Amino acid sequence: MAGRILRADILRVAIELLDRGGLPALVMRRIAAELDVQQSALYWHFRNKQELLAALADQIIDAVAAPTSTGWPSRLEELCGNLRAELLEHKDGADLVATAFAFRLGAGEAIRRFEGELDRAGLSTQEAQTAASVLLHYVLGYTTNEQQHRQAADLGALDPQSMPHDRTPFGTEDFLRGVRLVVRGIGPAAADG
């Protein structure tokens, strides 16, 4: 009662478990059980769990929609918004990608997307790297907080002290204010798009 499995099968099941129960549900034993396989079988396809998480992060990043606007400031805003939206699609998605990014394993593609947009803006390589770093850390950090807050509220763990009228400080508009602040800081060094 077994069956051969593929890397892609593992990743598909992992995403399903993540979407359903977040990072706490993403355990090797459950992935294996879902595939009717021994847990040790997973270690033939991935060196360890961290590598699996990195592949998952890459997959999420690849699904981020490309910006369609013209003009680098709008394109940058759009890319940030699209990244946040994709992270929010998966439970604990921001936390997962932020962790993988910190471990320098996955999410390397994300920073290249940002740098690509900043090249178009006419920044030097160094300036583009700096701006990409600031933007990416903001999007990942903000969205991690936002998602954690949302999921805590969903579980009824609401702190009445910090949210008096159910108005949280989070949301698309609040998020975009941060993005625009950074874009303003880029402006002086960039050519007009």
Q: Which is nearer to DNA, 91 or 113 (CB)?
A: 91
Q: Which residues bind DNA (CB under 7 A)?
A: 2-5, 26-30, 36-41, 43-45, 48-50
Which one of DNA, its own copies, none is in contact with 59 (Cβ closer than 5 to 8 A by kind)? none
188 binding its own copies? (CB under 8 A): yes
Which one of DNA, its own copies, none is in contact with 3 (Cβ closer than 5 to 8 A by kind)? DNA
Residues 133, 154, 171, 172: which binds its own copies (CB under 8 A)?
133
| d(C-alpha 34, C-alpha 28), whole Å | 10
100 binding its own copies? (CB under 8 A): no
Q: Are 124 and 82 in contact (CB under 8 A)?
A: no
CA 10 to chain centre: 20
Q: Are 140 and 80 in contact (CB under 8 A)?
A: no
CA 57 to chain centre: 7
Residues 46, 72, 114, 142: which binds its own copies (CB under 8 A)?
142
Q: Which is nearer to DNA, 30 or 120 (CB)?
A: 30
User: 65-101 burial by CB neighbour count: b if 16+ within 10 A, else e?
Assistant: eebeeeebbebbbbbbbbbbebbeebbbbbbbbbbbb
Which one of DNA, its own copies, none is in contact with 50 (Cβ closer than 5 to 8 A by kind)? DNA
